[in-house]
Structure 1
């Protein structure tokens, strides 16, 4: 049986409905939809939970940001250090710390490049957190939970020989749930070997 359609025979009701539709598509409708979307996204951020696969994916993206920004920051450090030391007065008769000025300026340029290399991950992390601002509270929460699990499940570092350190002490090589399970197995094997020498 085909669905029934109820068609109004009143012309005034159709006109009123058209006027109401036009009014809703105006500024009031835009304002209503904006605030409803804002509230919806706010509740999603508050109530949304993150699974471990999503966490490891975001963690990998954060590492990618940190590694990518290491390159320009290193070059900026080298260029900045080189520019600064190239504009210093050069006198071959004067030594600095008992060394030639060229050597000291070269070492200073290298140190500036190393400083840029160290600041690269910091800049990458800041930009990552600004881009993924909505997921930042959940990511921080999952970071705390992840490192708590690492501390609880890794082998006891007390008395471990330097020749055989604990594998992946901070869990930095864990990139997925599969890697985490493999890390747990390695910790159990290391614990068994240190306790029973097997």
Structure 2
């Protein structure tokens, strides 16, 4: 009888521990993910990793501005600058002629210098035309930058890098200036020494203005080497 009385408190004391263990076990089994959910998570991880690896080569394959495309753009810009110089020079003369006629510049100049009025008006028109001609490259380059900055899809097709194609006009000027700097450094490095040149025997294409492609650049290098060999032969 006493033994049964002593067993009752022990069973009562063990009951909360057993109850807690069963509660933890049930909670663990309830929060454990199902096999279908775990397989779905694994598949999603593989898909995300595959997407990240597939986007990396696409970003690394961004086209760059090649030398051929740069030289083509340089030629286009030179033609635009020439046309702009001609138009600005003609426009300056067209604006100056009525102004000279209204203010009688030729008579004032003749009184001040004692020269013939025709020389005065002719020299004045030539000076105004020269100023307009010199303003042409600035206007032409500005137009060229705006024109290429507005066609961003053409940037990607022509081969500008992603930064130039995104920022457009202002960075186009920076990219071209860097390419111009690299180009003229090549020209300065490989052109012949002009010390032995003369009016009858000048250095061929001293500034590289006739270079419109990589093939033209290689031909220019051959001409420079030929000029140097001819100079050394004459010295011997």
Instruction: Normalising by structure 1, report the TM-score.
Output: 0.68
Aligned residue-pair number:
152
- State the match for 1:70 in structure 2: 85
Deviation at 1:181, TM superposition (A): 0.7
Distance 1:137 1:104 in 2: 43
1:196 maps to 2:233: yes
* Match of residue 131, structure 1, among 147, 165, 174: 147
Q: List gaps (5 residues or longer) in structure 2.
A: 1-58, 149-168
Cα RMSD between the aligned structures?
A: 2.3
* Match of residue 134, structure 2, among 78, 99, 118: 118
1:191–1:104 Cα change, 3 Å: same
1:144 maps to 2:144: no
Structure number with higher helix proportion:
2
Q: List gaps (5 residues or longer) in structure 1.
A: 1-43
Deviation at 1:64, TM superposition (A): 1.8
Contact kept, 8 Å, 2:77 with 2:140, in 1: the verdict is yes
Distance 2:182 2:122 in 1: 45
Contact kept, 8 Å, 2:196 with 2:231, in 1: the verdict is no
1:105–1:160 Cα change, 3 Å: closer
1:101–1:128 Cα change, 3 Å: same
1:184 maps to 2:199: no
Max Rg structure: 2
1:161–1:78 Cα change, 3 Å: closer
Deviation at 1:113, TM superposition (A): 1.6
- State the match for 1:172 in structure 2: 209
Higher relative contact order (CA 8 A, sep 6+): 1
